[in-house]
Amino acid sequence: MDTVVQWNIRGFRSNFEELKLLLNRSQSAVVALQECRLGEGQMPPRGYTLLLPQVSKLSLAEQLPKPFLVLGDFNAHSPAWGDSRRDGRGRMLKELTAENDLIILNSGEQTFVHSAYHSTSAIDLAVASPSIAAECSWAAHSDLCGSDHFPIFLTLSSTFSSNVNTSFNFKKADWNRFGDMQTVFGRLWPTSSSLLQSCSVRPGHPYLS
């Protein structure tokens, strides 16, 4: 089985030690981070690759090869994935996932704690294409680990892992298309939001060599 860690880290450098503990504990293949807060010209520690896509207007569901996962802090509220309230972004996201036959993997656990009001919500979501959804299990960590968002663990079964490509040639990647990946949700974030604000890949993993 493979594990993917998803986390709104609220500062890559400020919570880097907590991140290392999470990765060592989970032995994750990939970690998808939001709110890294790396300034212009700042780079992550050696061994971590950050990808910073831009929001555009193309369709994410049409651009990504199936099966796929989209992970992020959507800041969208709906009882459909365990939040106590519903807002416009939640309604739009629910419609978009239905229109594109996508599955939200969340179990209903809360993923965010408001530091001032101590209220909770479920806004960190994992969205999957149908063929992979049944192969994934979703769980929120019990500790905030220095952030105000709980880290999330996605476990992918060995059935799925055995069917994925074993390597990728990043030199041949279409980075312009990668920058357009998040687009089906562009209506939700018209200015600067990013579903995968950064993606840190564990070096040496056989599926990401």
| Domain total in the chain | 1
- HSE-up of 20 (CA within 13 Å, CB side)? 9
Q: How far does CA 56 lie from the centroid of its chain?
A: 18
Token pair listed for 156: 């992918």
Residues 6+ apart with CB under 8 A from 10: 35, 37, 146, 147, 148, 149
> Range of 176's domain?
2-208
> Which two structure tokens, joined as six digits, stand for 187?
């209506």
The pLDDT tens digits of the residues spanning 164-207 come to 454 556 566 555 554 444 443 444 444 333 333 334 444 333 33
pLDDT(107) > 80: yes
Residue whose token pair is 């919570």: 15
Phi, psi of 110, deg, nearest 5: -75, 145
Q: Per-residue confidence at 139, pLDDT binned at 50, 70, 90?
A: very high
> What is the arithmetic mean of pLDDT over 101-110?
95
Per-residue pLDDT, averaged over 47-73, amounts to 68
What pLDDT was estimated at residue 27? Answer: 85
Between residues 52 and 101, the one the model is more confident about? 101
50 pLDDT band, cuts 50/70/90, is low
CA distance 142 to 140: 7
Under DSSP, the state recorded for 127 is E
Q: Is the per-residue pLDDT at 76 higher than 90?
A: yes
Q: In angstroms, rounded to a whole number, what is the distance separating the alpha carbons of residues 147 and 87?
A: 24
Give the whole-number percent of the chain exceeding pLDDT 70.
65
At 88, which CATH number? Answer: 3.60.10.10
167 vs 155: which has the higher pLDDT: 155
Q: Can you give the length of the chain in residues?
A: 209
What distance, in Å, lies between the first and last C-alpha atoms of the chain? 17
Quote the pLDDT of residue 37.
85
User: What are residue 150's phi and psi, to 5 degrees?
Assistant: -75, 135
- Who's near 100: CB < 8 A, 6+ residues apart? 59, 61, 184
Render pLDDT for 14-37 as a digit per residue (tens, 0 to 9). Answer: 999 999 999 888 888 788 888 888
- Given a cut of 70, whether residue 120 has pLDDT beyond it is yes
Reported as a pLDDT band with limits 50, 70 and 90, residue 94 is very high
